[in-house]
Amino acid sequence: MNKKVIIIGGGVSGLTTAIYLKKNGYDTLVLEQNPEVGGACTGWERKGCYIDGSIHWLVGVNPNSPTYKLWEDVGALTPDVKIFEQDDFYTLDFGKDKKFTIWSDLKKLQKELTNFAPEDKKAIKKFCKLVKRFERIDAPVKKPVDLMNLIDLLKIGFTMAGDYYYINKTSKISCAKYAENFKNQYIRKWLSEHMSANYNLMSFLYMFSHVTRKDGGIPEGGSKKFADRIKDKYLSLGGKLVCKAPVGKINVIDGVAKGVTLKNGQVLDADWVVSSVPAVHALNDLLKGQFDLKEIDDRVSEEKTYPIYTYTTAAFKIKDDLTKKPLSHKIYFDTPISLEKDHFSATYRNYSYDKTLTIDGHTVVQATLSGNDDMFYYWEKIKEQGDYKAKKREVAQKLLDVYLTRYPELKDKVEIIDVLTPLTYQRYLNGRHGSFQGFVQTYKGKSLMHNGKIKGLKNFYMSGQWLLRSGGLPPAVITGRFTAQRICKKDKVKFKT
Ligand SMILES: Cc1cc2nc3c(=O)[nH]c(=O)nc-3n(C[C@H](O)[C@H](O)[C@H](O)COP(=O)(O)OP(=O)(O)OC[C@H]3O[C@@H](n4cnc5c(N)ncnc54)[C@H](O)[C@@H]3O)c2cc1C
């Protein structure tokens, strides 16, 4: 009889584990708490518009890249899925005509930055050269290191030997520190504020070099369709899926995971249990704090070194064609929007690039303020005080007012249709402090690559973005595959894709 595996969480990682295990003869059941699969990779409707909840850029869209093969295996990308390649990655707008665009074409970017800041010509050239070098770096995605044999390890050591120098050199530098190489205050602002506070330079270069090498793009139809394709693939293989099935507990007897208990009390048995939910939720809530996982516990206790990613976002419905406006527009302003701190910039993303997402001549624009744990604490307090709805409305209006300073012609064509805060992500994903991605990779933090095993707990694996530094969709699919490979190895099943 085929072995039964329960996979908790129907996000990209959980579905990926389920697909690979199904292909290897296992009897799989995915349990998802929400009515829809996808987890953080989702989208929804409001007032006749589609609001995309995730993909701003996806790594692995180029058929020649190693990650593409994984997206193909799980049905997320196929040759007929159109990819939008974003030329203008984003535009930074400091007001008073101080503006430049981050182009995905490196030569065009070098020219743009040099025209904007001729005093930094040399530093800009060096930066572009560094990005070019990173274009050659690919993390191994076929097999986890713990399953590699000597030949695999030698191969990696050989192909990546030159890369380690650059990876090590840039891992311990924050983007803010690197920005000091530039004289121009706006270029410095761009580099130091691109991601979260203290973000390390290596992670920035690795991500950005995928964009410049044309391996970063946006699949047509957005995040919900992307996740639904993975679900369809899984169901087509005969996999079982139950939505609206929140798991309350992982059942452990004598150090062996035996199955789960749903929140409605139903007990389900299995030979293996995989948790692809946020790591802290798995450890504290589902395993009731009975097991330690040092790598996660240490990070949780050092919040400043390992902050989380979260957002406060307002979505606008705009009755106009925005195709000529920047796709991603970071606007700086003088009167701050005060939440956990004073925010002096917000990013506005217009979804007009995808015709399948514009409904009835309307385009959605999302305005985002980025934050960390403190943004969550702020909203938590506001909720306790009973001011949650009013404050959400106030912030959304302020974000809209800023947008209209740049596009006054849209004044009578725009409506606020949704507002999200860290509390939204916490409720929807069980993400600690409203996080939707792994820990931020700061320059002080250690890199993370965990095998998902918990000491003292057999027949159990943890999967998902929390096992790899920074998180994101590639870590979700990679860890999903690795978990299936580890289970196959334990059961002496020859892994096939
Ligand atoms: C606004 C935003 C923008 C993003 N942009 C990008 C981007 O441009 N590129 C990129 O690569 N990534 C991006 N991401 C991140 C990306 O979406 C996530 O990294 C990825 O989807 C994580 O997948 P996962 O399966 O590891 O985890 P999750 O998506 O968190 O999946 C876990 C699943 O478990 C379910 N669950 C939790 N608890 C339980 C329980 N007790 N019982 C049953 N089910 C449970 C959850 O509902 C969820 O479906 C973005 C995310 C957001 C929110």
* pLDDT digits 0-9 by tens, 296-310: 999 999 988 898 999
Distance 11 CA to ligand 1 centre (A): 6
Residue 199, beta-bridge partner list: 442
Residue 258: name the closest of 246, 270, 247, 267 by CA: 270
Q: Is the CB of 39 under 6 A from ligand 1?
A: yes
Atom of ligand 1 nearest to the CA of 476: 26
Residue 160 has pLDDT above 80, yes or no: no
Residue 136 has pLDDT above 90, yes or no: no
Distance 436 CA to ligand 1 centre (A): 6
Q: Average of pLDDT values for 20-49?
A: 97
Q: Is the CB of 366 under 6 A from ligand 1?
A: no
Distance 186 CA to ligand 1 centre (A): 33
Q: Is the CB of 311 under 6 A from ligand 1?
A: yes
Q: Average of pLDDT values for 102-115?
A: 96
**pLDDT band (50, 70, 90) for residue 197:** low
Distance 176 CA to ligand 1 centre (A): 28
Element (H, E) at 155: helix 150-171
C-alpha pair distances (Å), 144 with each of 182, 475, 486? 39, 12, 8
Q: What is the pLDDT of residue 363?
A: 94
Other Cβ atoms less than 10 A from the Cβ of 369: the count is: 22
**pLDDT band (50, 70, 90) for residue 464:** very high
Backbone dihedral angles phi then psi of residue 109, each to the nearest 5 degrees: -65, -45
Residue 21 has pLDDT above 70, yes or no: yes
Residue 446: name the closest of 278, 202, 82 by CA: 202
**pLDDT band (50, 70, 90) for residue 484:** very high
User: Using CA atoms in the order 284, 285, 291, 293, what is the torsion angle rounded to 10 degrees?
Assistant: -50
**pLDDT band (50, 70, 90) for residue 96:** confident
pLDDT tens digits, residue range 385-424?
999 999 999 999 999 999 999 999 999 999 999 999 999 9
Distance 39 CA to ligand 1 centre (A): 4
Residue 429 has pLDDT above 70, yes or no: yes
Atom of ligand 1 nearest to the CA of 437: 19
Q: Average of pLDDT values for 67-77?
A: 96
C-alpha pair distances (Å), 311 with each of 18, 368, 374? 30, 6, 11
Q: Is 108 in contact with 347 (CB distance < 8 Å)?
A: no
Residue 103 has pLDDT above 80, yes or no: yes
Residue 438 has pLDDT above 90, yes or no: no
Q: Average of pLDDT values for 303-329?
A: 93
Residue with CA at minimum distance from ligand 1 atom 48: 39
Residue 122 has pLDDT above 70, yes or no: yes
Backbone dihedral angles phi then psi of residue 71, each to the nearest 5 degrees: -60, -35
**Residue among 36, 68, 288, 429 to mutate when testing ligand 1 (max atoms within 8 A of CB):** 429
Distance 437 CA to ligand 1 centre (A): 7
pLDDT tens digits, residue range 344-391?
999 999 999 998 887 788 999 999 999 999 999 999 999 999 999 999
* Mean of pLDDT over the chain: 93
Residue 49, beta-bridge partner list: 46
**Residue among 6, 7, 12 to mutate when testing ligand 1 (max atoms within 8 A of CB):** 12
Residue with CA at minimum distance from ligand 1 atom 12: 472
Q: What is the pLDDT of residue 400?
A: 98
Q: Is the CB of 8 under 6 A from ligand 1?
A: yes
Structure tokens belonging to residue 157:
């050591």
Q: Is the CB of 281 under 6 A from ligand 1?
A: yes
**Which of the listed ranges 83-92, 134-143, 330-339 does the model predict with the highest average pLDDT?**
330-339
Distance 115 CA to ligand 1 centre (A): 40
165-170: long-range pairs with CB below 8 Å, 24+ = 166/130, 166/133, 166/134, 166/137, 166/202, 167/137, 167/202, 170/130, 170/200, 170/201, 170/202, 170/205
Q: What is the pLDDT of residue 156?
A: 77
DSSP 201-267: HHHHHHHHHHHHTT-EEEETTHHHHHHHHHHHHHHHTT-EEESS--EEEEEEETTEEEEEEETTS-E
Q: What is the pLDDT of residue 152?
A: 81
Residue 50 has pLDDT above 80, yes or no: yes
Question: What percent of the chain has pLDDT above 70?
Answer: 99
Element (H, E) at 100: strand 98-103
Q: Is 160 in contact with 137 (CB distance < 8 Å)?
A: yes
Residue 119 has pLDDT above 90, yes or no: yes
Residue with CA at minimum distance from ligand 1 atom 27: 11
Q: What is the pTM of this model?
A: 0.95
